[in-house]
């Protein structure tokens, strides 16, 4: 069966084939040239070898028999392609800014490392036979090479790079935007639906780095019964459907579902695609962004694999410094706007993301390097503006009030030698008795609805001491501040949450260790005043300046502050006990961790851009605490209303001293004490602690 994507890729390739061949011929000739002296000669030879490797891949993937090569040979080929980025080899790679600066000098080292990293990132495009992207990068490389043959200047190199990304934004940004909504980009779908998944050689067709995690999870899922796969897929798809029911959105009007997953889960994803087809949803499946022009920090959006080297990704997280300015921002925004306008029916038909997250990798603690590219203060402001503006454009064509989502998570083999046991336990956690939790959480909500404030205090070194202000509720028989969250959009079951009132919310939130946005934060401390972050610190680095810079870049996303968008109490003690039994608490994703204690989200509320949707708990009460003093600004100033960030920070049960509901008249009712539920009617949640 031919891929739809191949049709327009073939037409595009025919239009650029001559430029590709001329570029490759010119690059190949550089191997014999000696005009560029050391140390730069070796750098350019390394780039030449990169492009020749890309040409070799392009030649191989044209031959269907290549993927019939022995598994071991394909695995070795994959490792060879990504070898230079692996931690040990990375220390002496031009992709490493520190090494590049050491070899080429401070003036050119960092920018040439960026160029090398961008060229390296083209490997997946070679597997998709996308000649256009490879050709234009060849031409950029040749232009930079030519500059070094003359009297090169840093400004000259910067000009070449800036105008490249500015000129090709029309193509690179437009393609990335369209592939996120157009099911005709079916490269991954074809692999999933038309490969023999029992033959693990299919993994190497993607062109991504394939580690023992991807091989191990695929092998494991091939070993389980069809019933287990069906249980996983049904939980995932049913959770998606329930999200539409809970939000009162008509799913029958939608045509596509965006499936995001970790490679190795194809057997489950294939079954999910079949189940989605039964409700007339076609999958949109795209890889995480390749070029820096479409990336945002180190966050990933699309199908992924285990990172070949997280330090490499961290080192290049701000490489857009070489092209981000006001003119570029306007150009990128216009391209995205026009692409959505030209594909507005596709956007309107998109039902939202269905995400399979993974966990188990060792938490990453980055090293700061002075050689890394960095955004200026002005560029930080522009990056915030860009994210906000794009968020508004997406909401214009895909209104948040008209789509839903679901997220489910499973472990990777790297998690421990008990991987298979943990996987089986995770399936149990993902399919807990919702009716039981429904009743317990209704009891919890009844008390929380009486609160004017919720007081949360830590213990045993945890310095949390915060008063969370609740929204007014004049009719508790009809309305509720807290949503009763079961296993729909966020699987597994187990939390009650609200959008707190910012005014009056104050105090300190502290967590000993937490894993946020793929980064480990040590002893994270946030101080709030009227619901917004006033001070922040952590213990990741030796100096306060480094720690605060780390938080601003990777938690505040270059903003000066963020509000509390959500306060919740997680009730899934079964997950917590499982995590402690296998010593994996700090390897779990926030999706599960947020169900394992009280948590606070910084950024937007859970109802961002869908505040007008009416939400009802199973007991019939309508959720009314859906906005705060920021999101209310959507009626007058959209730019100030939303942050396009929602990051959950959970305090583990064992670090909780108390959670107390404080009534209007001063009455205090304990919800939790010393990490255990003490409210009458919720003590059943403590049973897993006693059974551990």
Q: Does 424 map to a domain?
A: no
* Exposed / middle / buried, residue 192 (Cβ in 10 Å: 0-12, 13-18, 19+): buried
Nearest-angstrom CA–CA distance, 360 and 520: 13
Kindly report, residue by residue over 572-613, the tens digit of the pLDDT. 999 899 988 998 887 887 778 888 889 999 999 999 988 988
Q: Pull the structure tokens for residue 601.
A: 């989200």
Write the pLDDT tens digit of every residue in 636-655: 988 899 998 999 999 989 99
Tell me the C-alpha distance between 651 and 179, whole Å: 38
Give the pLDDT mean for 429-434: 84
Q: Which DSSP state fits 687?
A: H
Task: Note the maximum CA span of the chain.
Answer: 85
Same domain, 398 and 518: no
Examine residue 481 and state whether it is found in any structural domain, yes or no.
yes
Supply the range of the domain harboring residue 199.
188-365+372-408
Task: Give me the mean pLDDT over the 33-43 stretch.
Answer: 95
Q: Which two tokens stand for residue 549?
A: 């810079």
Q: Say if residue 273 is in the same domain as residue 296.
A: yes
Q: Looking at residue 638, what is its pLDDT?
A: 86
Q: Which residues contact 581 (CB under 8 A, 6 or more apart)?
A: 692
The residues, ordered by sequence, that sit 6+ positions from 143 with a Cβ below 8 Å of its Cβ are 160, 164
Residues 245 and 350 in one domain: yes
How many C-beta neighbours within 10 Å does residue 389 have? 19
The angle at the Cα of 238, spanning 233 to 243, to the nearest 5 degrees, equals: 135
pLDDT at residue 1 above 50? no
Rg over alpha carbons for the chain, rounded to the nearest Å, is: 26
**Structural domain ending residue among the three candidates 179, 197, 212:** 179
* Structure tokens belonging to residue 180: 């996120």
Instruction: Return the higher-pLDDT residue of 593 and 94.
Output: 94
Query: Residue 427: inside a domain, yes or no?
Result: no
Q: Please give the average per-residue pLDDT across 428-455, as a whole number.
A: 92
Number of domains in the chain: 3
Q: Quick one: 510 and 486 in the same domain? A: yes
| Whether 247 and 353 share a structural domain | yes
Residues 44-60: what's their mean pLDDT? 97
Helix pair angle (212-223, 266-278), 10° resolution: 60
Query: pLDDT-based confidence at 214, cuts 50/70/90?
Result: very high
Residue 504 included in any domain: yes
C-alpha atoms less than 13 angstroms from C-alpha of 500 in its C-beta half-sphere: 32
- 495 and 474 in a common domain: yes
pLDDT digit string, tens, across residues 234-274: 999 999 998 898 888 999 999 999 999 999 999 999 999 99
Q: Is 417 part of any domain?
A: no
User: Residue 692 — pLDDT band, cuts 50, 70, 90?
Assistant: low
State what percent of residues in the chain have pLDDT above 70: 99
Give 132-155 pLDDT, tens digit per residue.
Answer: 999 999 999 999 999 999 889 999
Is residue 309 located within the same domain as residue 235? yes
Nearest Cα to Cα of residue 487 among 672, 238, 230: 238
Residue 183 predicted with pLDDT over 90:
yes
Same domain? For 260 and 357 the reply is yes
Q: What is the pLDDT of residues 493-530, one digit of tens each?
A: 889 999 999 999 999 999 998 888 778 899 999 999 99
- Per the CB < 8 A criterion, the answer to whether 291 and 121 are in contact is yes
How far are the Cα atoms of 45, 48, 149, 154, 312 from residue 30, in angstroms, in the given order? 7, 7, 11, 22, 27
| pTM of this structure | 0.90
pLDDT for 2: 56
Mean pLDDT score of the chain, rounded to an integer?
94
Q: Are residues 590 and 611 in the same domain?
A: yes
DSSP per residue, 260-295: E-BTT-HHHHHHHHHHHHHTT-EEE--BPP-SGGG-
Residue 413, domain member (yes or no): no
Establish if 223 belongs to a structural domain.
yes
Shared domain check, 116 and 224: no
Residues 101 and 213 in one domain: no
Residue 588: per-residue pLDDT: 81
Say yes or no: 139 and 208 in one domain. no
C-alpha span between 412 and 261 (Å, rounded): 12
In a domain, 421, yes or no: no
């Amino acid at each position: 069966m031919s891929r739809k994507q191949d049709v327009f890729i073939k037409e595009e390739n025919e239009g650029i084939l001559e430029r590709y061949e001329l570029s490759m011929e010119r690059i190949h000739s550089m191997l014999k040239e000696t005009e560029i002296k050391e140390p730069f000669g070796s750098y350019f030879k390394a780039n030449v070898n990169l492009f020749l490797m890309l040409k070799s891949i392009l030649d191989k993937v044209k031959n269907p028999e290549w993927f019939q090569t022995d598994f071991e040979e394909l695995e070795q080929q994959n490792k060879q392609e990504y070898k230079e980025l692996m931690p040990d080899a990375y220390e002496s790679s031009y992709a490493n800014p520190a090494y590049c600066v050491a070899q080429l000098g401070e003036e050119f080292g960092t920018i040439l490392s960026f160029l090398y990293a961008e060229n390296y990132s083209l490997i997946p495009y070679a597997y998709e036979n996308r000649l256009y992207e490879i050709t234009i990068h060849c031409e950029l490389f040749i232009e930079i090479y030519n500059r070094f043959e003359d009297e090169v200047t840093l400004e000259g190199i910067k000009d070449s790079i800036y105008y490249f990304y500015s000129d090709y934004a029309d193509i690179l940004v437009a393609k990335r935007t369209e592939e996120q909504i157009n099911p005709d980009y079916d490269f991954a779908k074809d692999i999933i639906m038309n490969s023999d998944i029992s033959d693990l050689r299919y993994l190497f067709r993607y062109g991504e780095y394939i580690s023992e995690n991807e091989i191990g999870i695929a092998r494991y899922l091939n070993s389980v019964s069809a019933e287990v796969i069906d249980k996983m897929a049904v939980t995932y798809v049913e959770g998606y459907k329930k999200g539409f029911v809970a939000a009162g959105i008509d799913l029958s009007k939608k045509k596509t579902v965006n499936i995001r997953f970790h490679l190795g889960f194809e057997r489950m994803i294939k079954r999910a695609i079949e189940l989605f087809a039964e409700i007339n949803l076609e999958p949109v499946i795209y890889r995480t962004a390749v070029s820096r022009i479409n990336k945002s920090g180190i966050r990933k959006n699309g199908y992924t694999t285990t990172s070949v080297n997280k330090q490499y990704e961290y080192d290049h997280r701000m490489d857009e410094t070489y092209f981000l300015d006001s003119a570029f921002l306007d150009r990128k925004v216009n391209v995205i706007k026009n692409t959505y306008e030209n594909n507005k029916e596709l956007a309107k038909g998109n039902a939202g993301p269905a995400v399979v997250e993974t966990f188990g990798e060792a938490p990453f603690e980055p090293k700061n390097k002075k050689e890394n590219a960095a955004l200026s203060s002005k560029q930080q402001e522009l990056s915030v503006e860009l994210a906000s503006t794009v968020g508004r454009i997406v909401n214009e064509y895909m209104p948040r009030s008209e789509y839903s989502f679901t997220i489910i998570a499973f472990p990777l083999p790297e998690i421990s030698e008990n991987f298979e046991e943990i996987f089986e336990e995770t399936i149990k956690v993902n399919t807990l008795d919702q009716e039981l939790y429904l009743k317990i959480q209704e009891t919890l909500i009844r008390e929380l609805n009486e609160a004017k404030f919720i007081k949360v205090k830590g213990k045993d070194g945890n310095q949390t001491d915060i008063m969370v202000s609740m929204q007014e509720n004049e009719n508790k028989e009809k309305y509720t501040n807290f949503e009763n969250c079961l296993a729909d959009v966020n699987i597994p079951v187990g939390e009650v949450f609200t959008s707190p009132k910012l005014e009056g919310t104050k105090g300190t939130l502290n967590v000993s260790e937490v894993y946020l946005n793929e980064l480990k934060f040590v002893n994270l401390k946030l101080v709030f005043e009227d619901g917004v972050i006033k001070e922040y610190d952590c213990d990741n680095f030796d100096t306060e300046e480094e720690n605060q810079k780390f938080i601003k870049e990777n938690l505040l996303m270059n903003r000066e502050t963020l509000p509390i968008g959500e306060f919740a109490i997680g009730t899934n003690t079964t997950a917590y006990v499982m995590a402690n039994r296998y010593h994996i608490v700090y390897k779990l994703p926030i999706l599960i961790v947020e169900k394992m204690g009280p948590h606070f989200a910084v950024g937007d509320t859970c109802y961002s851009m869908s505040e007008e949707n009416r939400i009802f708990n199973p007991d019939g009460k309508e959720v009314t605490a859906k906005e705060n003093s920021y999101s209310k600004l959507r009626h007058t100033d959209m730019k100030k209303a939303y942050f396009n960030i929602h990051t959950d920070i959970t305090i583990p049960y064992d670090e909780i001293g108390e959670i107390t509901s404080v009534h209007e008249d001063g009455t205090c009712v304990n919800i939790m004490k010393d990490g255990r539920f003490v409210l009458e009617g919720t003590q059943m949640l403590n049973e897993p602690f006693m059974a551990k």
